Structure 1
Amino acid sequence: MTSITYSDAVTDALDRLDDLGYERAGRQDLANHGPMGAEALAALGHPEAIPAWVTGYRNAIAHNDPPGPRFAIDPAEESSWRPALGAFDRVGDWEALFRRELADAPWRDVLVRWWPRLLPGLFSRLTHGPIRTAHAVRSVAATSSPSPQQITELARGLAYWAARFTTLPGQASLGGQRTVAEAVAAAPRAPINPATPPAALLRDGLSSLLDQPGYTDTLQALRADHVQVLLSTMTAQFAGLCLAQTRYTPVPLVHGVTAPAALRLVLPYLPAGLHEPTLTAMWQTHTALLFLFAGDSHDEDDIRARAAETEVPGFDDLIAAAVEHGDEHVIKFTDACLREHLLRPDPRYPAAALAVQQRIPRRGKPS
């Protein structure tokens, strides 16, 4: 049987997904997860599953048409590109810009140039902008000769981040005295009505974050640590929240793991001076996720100990179950938990991967 390489599998998937727009059709403008899910399947060692998965994804979810460019954005003129940040009707213009940039310069140079410009908007559509960018970075970095499809996907990841650029209220810092666990435990949180859709929580909650007791203190509470260690404590803590918070859909909180795990994929290609600002922006995003979607803090103190006592399949079985499950969030979350667990083992990762597989509905098989 002929085997297919990771890069070839990703390129084929991007070809199959090329005509899908940036977001799903309908009243909830949710991000296109096709390229991210397919790349994660390839990274998990299941490239053979991608064609059927792409077919199932396309059959299950309608997407808006890809937009075309309208007005050129000049990357050298701040007065041209800055007003276009967060303007989703300019996403075609952003894609055209990044296509030009990536045609004229090495992809890493483009990434380093735009990363600090986009970083304040890390929350971009519940972090889907930077996550899509990170999956594309992993793809192009895996080969010395990225395919045109892989380069286009990087342009689209950056374009989506820019067009859904979303700043959060307040100012985060890593100048506090608390660990991630201590900061999360100290944050006062209110219960969430489980019937409220995530889109409504976002719409109503973002504008009132500064009014929530403890929000500003939490932004300033975290103490600096080694970048890689801090990323690990961030992902492990939010994997624990995914385990403990069972009264609301887990989908928003899984991004508290997949987003910092995605940033870890990109950090090796950024100068060291951008590492701490990246983690500071991630902590601001974590604080928002905590106050918007974590609800009241119940049964969280001993979640690591309880996770260690939980009988969980090995990661080979968890990966196989995620592939069979088919949901894009489950696939990406399993990928992130596996990578994080390999770097710094913690029982919350496999337990959370299993719990999310059990709580998110399965994707139907393609017809």
Structure 2
Amino acid sequence: MTAITEDGTLDEALERVHSTGPEFQGWLSNHAPMTVEALARHGQARAVHRWLDSYRHRTEDLPTAALTITDANWHEALGDARHLGSWIAHFTRLTAELPWADVLTTWWPRLLPGIIAGATHPVIRVGHAVRTLLTDGETAPRTAELAHALGYWAARHQPLPGTVTPSGTAGPHRALDAIPVYAAVQEGGIRDRLARLPAADGWPAAASGLRRPAGPDDAHDLLAELVRATVARYPRYAHGDAVMLVHAATAPNAVLRVLPALPRALWVPSLAAAWEASAVITAAYAPARALFAGAGAGAAATMEESFALAAAHGDAHVIKLADTAWDVGGPAALAATARACELIEPGDG
């Protein structure tokens, strides 16, 4: 794993980001914290502040905290976006009082059932924050970033009706291939699609198609395979919705990045939630037919070159997919980044 260059760029960027809220225009996600972390990690630190300057019009001020969240009222405030500022303030207090890993361990199982919240952007943001803390060490801006990410997730917490539990016999590749295309579901925005999905014919069986892990280590391996499968699928299915299908890969990879900071007892439920995220996004956005995209006309020869192409493209989703593709490596990862650069217009994210 590539380490952050210790020149202060990421911490400076996070301090800039933390004057803004996690959303803009009502509910669209602020991708800045995730994007600058990926840029700084993969040799593009010089582009970080320039990228932030170009993204400024897609941010709004940090919302104020109107409610003090406590042990007595957090259940009622969970999933209430009116308390977005209050949730961020709550986790800022917690991470100032307790080790960040303890806060994460307490709240991860509480938040995990709502992994689809905010189109999975909150859990992705948590994954970027935890990766930095584990790999590069703790600083005040990095701990604050985890607090902002957890607060965003708590405010947008959104469980799906029913439970998606791996109980089949298929590995991730076959389980994803078995998810039906629901024409009636694939209309409108993500919240409309999610509302219709649980009642769709065949959904419960398809959602349970992934095999049950034998234990924590097997859950880890299945999760890593799920990330590889979603990256490999992206070039062939991205024409369905090139932006939204990015999350089928980046959401489970965020969970994979968090596992080393969690007790092993949480690894199996973490896999189940990650599978739910990928399965839901696949059902809601994957097209009926795959397209053979080859290696991609613009595919780079190395991961370094591939990420540089994503950075030059500039779109947040392209950069974040390239970051996940870097973790996977190989021709499929190079093709995924090239396909995203081809299909996503700069500024879409």
Q: TM-score, normalised by structure 2?
A: 0.90
Q: Which residue of 2 aligns with 1:119?
A: 112
Q: Which residue of 2 aligns with 1:20?
A: 20
**Cα contact 1:13–1:51 (8 A) shared by 2:** yes
SS of corresponding position for 1:183: helix
SS of corresponding position for 1:142: helix
Q: Which residue of 2 aligns with 1:349?
A: 333
Are 1:201 and 2:189 matched, yes or no? yes
Structure 2 gaps, min length 5:
none
Instruction: Work out the CA distance in 2 between the residues paired with 1:90 and 1:172.
Output: 28
Could you tell me how far 1:191 is from its partner in structure 2?
4.5
* Equivalent residue for 1:167, pick from 159, 173, 179: 159
Q: Which residue of 2 aligns with 1:44?
A: 42
Question: Which residue identity is paired with 1:44?
Answer: H
Counterparts in 2 of 1:274-285, with a 5 A limit?
A: 274-285=266-277
Q: Which residue of 1 aligns with 2:64?
A: 68
**Cα contact 1:170–1:219 (8 A) shared by 2:** no
Structure 1 gaps, min length 5:
none
Counterparts in 2 of 1:334-345, with a 5 A limit?
A: 334-341=322-329, 345=330
Higher mean alpha-carbon deviation, 37-46 vs 244-253, is at 244-253
RMSD: 2.4
Q: Which residue of 1 aligns with 2:31?
A: 33
Could you tell me how far 1:242 is from its partner in structure 2?
1.9
* Equivalent residue for 1:138, pick from 126, 131, 137: 131
Cα deviation 1:261-283 (Å, max 9, x = unaligned)? 11111100100000010010111
Q: Which residue of 2 aligns with 1:213?
A: 201
Q: 1:311 to 1:363 in 2, by over 3 A?
A: closer
Counterparts in 2 of 1:1-367, with a 5 A limit?
A: 5-6=5-6, 8-25=8-25, 29-58=27-56, 61-74=57-70, 76-77=71-72, 80-144=73-137, 146-191=138-183, 200-225=188-213, 226-296=218-288, 298-299=289-290, 306-307=294-295, 312-341=300-329, 345=330, 347-363=331-347
Cα deviation 1:292-333 (Å, max 9, x = unaligned)? 11132x237xx69x5599964321211111111111111111
Q: TM-score, normalised by structure 1?
A: 0.86
Could you tell me how far 1:156 is from its partner in structure 2?
0.4
Could you tell me how far 1:248 is from its partner in structure 2?
3.0
Cα deviation 1:40-81 (Å, max 9, x = unaligned)? 1111122121111111111xx33232111111111x33xx11
Could you tell me how far 1:87 is from its partner in structure 2?
0.5
Higher mean alpha-carbon deviation, 218-227 vs 276-285, is at 218-227
Higher mean alpha-carbon deviation, 30-39 vs 43-52, is at 43-52
**Cα contact 2:295–2:332 (8 A) shared by 1:** yes
SS of corresponding position for 2:23: coil
